[in-house]
Structure 1
Amino acid sequence: MNFPFTRHHLSRKEAFLQRLFEILPGALSWTILLGMVALSALNPILAALVIIAFDVYWILRISYVIIFLILAYAWLEVEKKTNWMERVQGLANVQAHLETLQRQPSKKGLKRRLSRWTHQKELRHLLDSRSEHLSPEDVHHLVIMPVASEKMEILRAGLESLRSGDYPSTRMVVVIALEEWAEPKIKDGIAELMDLFRGAFMDLRVVVHPSEIPGEARVKGANITWAARDSADYLSRRGIPFDHVIVSCFDADTVVSASYFSCLTYNFLICPQRQRASFQPIPVYHNNIWDVPSFAKVLETSSSFFILAETTNPEKLVTFSSHSMSFKALVEIGYWPVDMISDDSLIFWKALLHYEGDYRTVPMYVTLSMDVIDAGSWWKTAHSIYKQKRRWAWGVEGFPIIMRGFLAMKDQPLRKKLPHIIKMLEGHIMWATWSFMLMVIGWLPALFASRVYSNSVVYYSAARISTIIFSLSYLNLFILILLGLALLPRKDVRYGFLKRLLFILQWFLLPWTNLFFAAIPALDAQTRLMFGKYMEFWVADKRRVD
């Protein structure tokens, strides 16, 4: 479907729908919050009942997510020691590889048996699909790393991880997408890296994105789109088919695990509809996690948990941060949006609309690591993290465009579009309201009508219900702490017991942390969109301590 994925240059009808859907998320969030404040003042008993019902729903929903988080983490552990490169090589002849596996004796250990059983199941599914066979030798990787103000040591670690992995780096074309307006010291650092990594890849290129191109905003999507268009010409000149190329867009601080590209290649090759899929790894924030304040550790670990839990529902999984996709698909849909901030998730929705619903995200149980924001001091880091979370929440800018796209998608039945709409809208509303409901509004009925409330049946029932809810909350929190500790990088002698203790204790402040660094930034972003105060891209502060 040829749909204009932008808020600019719209017809009068489209512009009206755009503004209507821009207003909707913020209006709903404020209606819920202000409505509950008003209800607490006018009818505190009814407000208390609503809050109790919400608390019950909240704990059930969180417990449900925790269950799937445990399952996803367990599968991440199952695949941790998988030899992905061996599996890639086996795909040169799928039938022969499957027969060889079936003749081999079962491996010891539950994890290995589960992994092997899944591998054989995927091979049989690939054979049954009768999709076009693509040899591993035909696959090339295009890696785009945008750079604006990132320092050389940040980018160097990422390039080193590409070179030192188990996948041949000689099959990678690495493109450093450099902004023209970058400072001279950044450009000098890039020149040093070019010398340092010369010959390490099939090619290492620098593509400079010109400033002030008409129709573009000062956003990452414009930079990486310029680099991707240039790379399309590069690949065409060398006769490399686009459908043989997997493009990965990584932030400059991304450090991939040793088996990342072999796992990606395997998942690409066994996917029958590989040209209609994105591939989402599990992002973790381990590069500098021991050098940042404890609240920042907990916040970014929570972000990893969110994606990890989402992988258990591939039908609704949306790309986030660093991810990969078919270069052919990227070219067909017209690359990333060049006038919007949230390119990492919007590229999925743009593809879904272009292919009229025939697009999906494939979860990969392999990690890549990025930096936690570190601005040098506690207060500066807190301020920068707030701005980063507001930028993430600004993903709501895509909601009105996606809604317009769904309305234009006439051939798709409502039952296929509605789950996406509900999940997207619900996610934004929960993001902005849940912490307020739990930490602030939940106390208002008792404050507004203490005498009436204390003599009611609701008052006596609320205590018992609250006890049950908080007991279950502490159980869930205990599970999160254990998983958080398990997900952290291996112990470094520089970071002893005290660092880990602070990390554990910070989890008990998670409700307040989420209020200030999740709910308020989300409400801020939605309010700005509601009033047409559009945000600009902001590059996060990141540094590493040697």
Structure 2
Amino acid sequence: MIFTYSRCNLDRRQRTLQRFFEILPGATSWGILLGFILLSLWEPLVAAALIIAFDLYWILRLFYMNIFLALSYARLSWERKTDWLKRIDDTRDIDRSLRRPQAASSGNKLPEIISEVINRRELAELKNSGQTVPSYDDIYQLVIMPVVRESRDIVEPGIKSLSEGAFPSRRILVVLAVEERSSPEIRDAAQRLAAEYRGRFLEFLVTLHPDGIAGEARVKGANATFAAKVAVGFFTEKNIPFENVIVSCFDADTIVNPDYFNCLTYSYIVTPNRTQASYQPIPVYHNNIWEAPAFARVLDIGSSFFQLIEATNPEQLVTFSSHSMSFQALVDVGYWPVDMISDDSAIFWKSYIHYDGRYRVIPLATTLSMDITQAKTWRKTLVNVYKQKRRWAWGVENFPILMRAFLGSPTIPLRQKLRHSFKLFEGHISWATWPFLLTFIGWLPTLFAGREFSHTVLYYTGPRITTTIFSLASIGLLNCIILSLLLLPKNPAKNTFWTKMGQALEWLSVPFIMIFLSGMPALDAQTRLALAKRLEFWVTEKERKKAADK
């Protein structure tokens, strides 16, 4: 279908629909919160019953998420030892690879057996699709890294990781996409990096995105789109087919592990209809994790956990932060939106609509690392973390555009429309309301209870039921603590027993984080959208301690 993925230049009917769906998330979130408060005042018995029902639903959801978190973490751990080049070599002769004896007959351990079972299933699906299998030697990588005010010490580690990986760097085109409004120091640093590292790659380009292009906002997607159009000219001149190019749009602080591009390339090769898919790794925030305050560390570990859980449900997975896709698809859909803040999720929805629902996200069993938001002071870090999470929550801006597209599309199956609409809407509503319901509003029926309610059985049993539910929730929290300790990189400082205890006790800050650094930013974003107070793109401040300061 022909649909412009934008809120701008709409006719009267589309503007009306756009505003209705912009108001709906914020109105729903505020309606739930205020409704529970008023109900606690006027009908505490009903409010208490609803709160208990919600708590039961929440604990079941928590156990469900913990199960899949553990499974996803296990898969990630198993695949760390995978020889991706060998897997890629298996795609050269699929019949031979499928005839090879299974790992179980060689006495391998269970994780290796499961990994090979998954590999065989992927090879069988590729064979049954009847599609051409591209050669590893014909695959190129395009890495676009938008830069606004990130200094060289932030950008260079990522560039270095690209050059030192297992994938041949001579088949990687790096584009450092610098904004024209960046300071002369940032622009000069980009040129010096290009001069120093150019010989290690296929090419190292520095683009300068002009300010004030008509129809563009000051957002990362506009900068990345300008850089991608430059890359189109490069690959066209080199006669390299776009379908053989995988484009990755990375934040400037992104560091890839040595096997990242081989894992990505394998997934690209074995995926049927590979150009109609995005490829999502698990983002971790390890670059400066031991320098950041505890609350910021716990919050971003939680973000990684959320992506681990989402990876277990590929049918509803949406791209987040640094990810990859076919360059052919990027060109076909018209690049990233140039007037939206949430470009990482918007490019998925834009592609999904362009291909009439025949577009998906493939989870990658690998990680890439970024920075935790950090400033020079604890207080400034707190403010920056709030702003970053509000920007993430601004992904709700996709909801009204997506709903307009769904209403106007006769080709996307109704079941898919309902499934994606509900997940996107419910996800944002939960984000904005659950923290308040769990930590504050859930106790109001007891506090506001009148004489009539205070003599009911529910008055006495309600708090006890809620306390029991939260006691059960501690099991889920314990699981998160254990997995966080396993996921964290080694602390350069002495990792004593008391250090590990301190890391575990950091999770006691979860109630504070839920309210002030999760629920409030989400509610803030939805309220701004409902009131048509557009959020400006805010570049996350990046700070790393110098070696002498450590």
- For normalisation by structure 1, the TM-score amounts to 0.98
1:495 and 1:544 mapped to 2: Cα distance? 21
Residue matched to 2:346: 346
Corresponding residue for residue 300 of structure 1: 300
Q: CA deviation at 1:95?
A: 2.7
- Map 1:99-118 onto structure 2 (within 5 A): 99-100=99-100, 106=106, 108-118=108-118
In the alignment, what sits opposite 1:245? 245
Aligned to 2:278: 278
* Equivalences for residues 43-62 of structure 1 within 5 A: 43-62=43-62
Amino acid at match of 1:217: A
Match of 2:290, SS?
A: helix
Q: What CA distance in whole angstroms lies between the structure 2 residues aligned with 1:452 and 1:204?
A: 74
- Say which SS state the counterpart of residue 325 (structure 2) adopts: strand
- Provide the rounded CA distance (Å) in 2 between the counterparts of 1:62 and 1:271: 32
The aligned counterpart of 2:75 is 75
User: Residue 362 of structure 1 aligns with which residue?
Assistant: 362
Q: How does 1:310-349 map to 2 (within 5 A)?
A: 310-349=310-349
SS of residue matched to 1:291 = coil
User: What is the DSSP-based 3-state SS (H/G/I as helix, E as strand, rest coil) of the residue aligned with 2:106?
Assistant: coil
Any conservation in 1 of the 2:333–2:351 contact (CA below 8 Å)? Answer: yes
Partner of 1:268: 268
Is the Cα–Cα contact under 8 Å of residues 151 and 186 in structure 1 kept in the other structure?
yes
Give the letter for the 2:33 counterpart.
L
Question: In 1, are the aligned partners of 2:177 and 2:208 still within 8 Å (CA)?
Answer: yes
| 1:250-295 deviation line (CA, Å, top 9, x unaligned) | 0000001111000000000000110110000000000000001101
Q: What is the CA RMSD across the aligned residues, in angstroms? A: 1.5
SS in 1 for 2:490: coil
Q: 1:131-177: CA deviations, max 9, x gaps?
A: 12211111111110000000101111001111111111111011101
Q: Give the structure 2 partner of residue 172 of structure 1.
A: 172
| Cα contact 1:37–1:444 (8 A) shared by 2 | yes
Correspondence for 1:125:
125
Partner of 1:33: 33
Structure 1's unaligned 5+ residue stretches are none
Following the alignment from structure 1 to structure 2, what is the Cα–Cα distance between the partners of residues 544 and 97? 46
Cα displacement (A) at 1:234:
1.0
Secondary structure of 1:279's counterpart equals strand
Contact 2:91 2:133 (8 Å CA) reproduced: no
Which sits farther off after the overlay, 67-76 or 96-105? Answer: 96-105
Shift in Å at residue 453 of structure 1? 3.5
Residues 190-201 of structure 1 mapped to structure 2, 5 A cutoff? 190-201=190-201
Tell me which residue corresponds to 2:158. 158
Separation (CA, whole Å) in 1 of partners of 2:243 and 2:95? 23
Does the CA-based 8 Å contact 1:278-1:324 persist in structure 2? yes
2:103/2:112 contact within 8 Å kept:
no
Distance verdict in 2 for CA 1:444–1:182, change over 3 Å: same
Say whether 1:19 aligns with 2:19. Answer: yes
Q: CA deviation at 1:392?
A: 0.3
CA distance, structure 1, for counterparts of residue 94 and residue 442 of structure 2: 58
Structure 1 contact 278–362 (Cα < 8 Å) conserved: yes
Contact 1:445-1:453 within 8 A present in 2 as well: no
Note the 1:504-523 alignment, pairs <5 A.
504-523=504-523
Aligned match of 2:462: 462
Q: Distance in 2 between matches of 1:412 and 1:221?
A: 26
Q: Which shows bigger deviation, 44-53 or 495-504?
A: 495-504
Matching of residues 391-402 of structure 1 within 5 Å: 391-402=391-402
CA contact 1:91–1:136 (8 Å) conserved in 2: no
Quote how far apart the aligned CAs of 1:191 are: 2.1
Question: Counterpart of 2:10 in 1: which secondary structure?
Answer: coil
Please say if residues 298 and 503 of structure 1, whose CA atoms lie closer than 8 Å, have aligned partners that are also in contact: no
Matches of 2:48 and 2:370 in 1, distance apart?
A: 43
Question: Which amino acid letter does the alignment assign opposite residue 199 of structure 2?
Answer: G
Q: Distance in 1 between matches of 2:23 and 2:499?
A: 43
The corresponding residue for 1:63 is 63
- Displacement after TM superposition at 1:541 (Å): 1.1
2:385 aligns with 385
Distance 2:97 2:201 in 1: 29
Kept after mapping to 2: 8 A contact 1:85/1:167? no
* Alignment check: 8 A CA contact 1:166 1:258 kept: yes
Seq. identity, %: 52
SS of residue in 1 equivalent to 2:525: helix
Whether 1:90 aligns to 2:116 is no
Q: Normalising to structure 2: TM-score of the pair?
A: 0.97
Residue in 2 that maps onto 1:406: 406
Q: Deviations over 1:423-444 (max 9, x none)?
A: 0000010000001111111121
Amino acid at match of 2:362: V
CA distance in 2, matches of 1:110, 1:157: 36
For the 8 Å contact 1:336–1:343, the answer to whether it is kept is yes
Helix, strand or coil: the match of 2:411?
A: coil
8 Å Cα contact 1:139/1:245 also seen in 2: yes
CA shift for structure 1 position 456: 1.2
The AA in structure 1 aligned to 2:302 is S
1:446 counterpart letter in structure 2: T
Aligned counterparts of 1:510 and 1:380: Cα–Cα separation in 2: 20
Whole-Å separation in 2 of the counterparts to 1:298 and 1:307: 15
Which residue does 1:435 correspond to in 2?
435
Alpha-carbon deviation of 1:114?
A: 1.5
- The number of residue pairs the alignment matches comes to 546
The separation in 2 between residues aligned to 1:292 and 1:415, in whole angstroms, is: 43
When residues 513 and 427 of structure 1 are mapped into structure 2, their CA distance, relative to the original with a 3 A threshold, is same
Per-residue deviation at 1:122? Answer: 1.4
Q: Match of 2:388, SS?
A: helix
Question: Are 1:10 and 2:33 matched, yes or no?
Answer: no
Q: Who is 1:289 aligned against?
A: 289
Query: Which aligned segments of 4 or more residues in structure 1 are displaced greater than 6 angstroms?
Result: none
Paired AA for residue 402 in structure 1: L
The answer on whether the counterparts of 1:432 and 1:520 sit within 8 Å (CA) in structure 2 is yes
CA positional deviation for 1:455: 1.8
Work out whether residues 106 and 113 of structure 1, in 8 Å CA contact, stay in contact via their aligned partners in 2. Answer: no
What is the rounded CA distance, in whole Å, between the counterparts of 1:184 and 1:107 in structure 2?
60
Paired letter, 1:183? S
- Alpha-carbon shift at residue 219 of structure 1 (Å): 0.3
Give yes or no for contact 2:102–2:116 (8 Å, CA) kept in 1.
no
Shift of 1:107: 5.2
Q: Distance in 1 between matches of 2:231 and 2:101?
A: 39
Unaligned runs of 5+ residues in structure 2 are none
| Alpha-carbon separation, structure 2, partners of 1:33 and 1:467 | 21
Q: Kindly state the Cα deviation for residue 471 of structure 1 after the two structures are TM-superposed.
A: 1.9
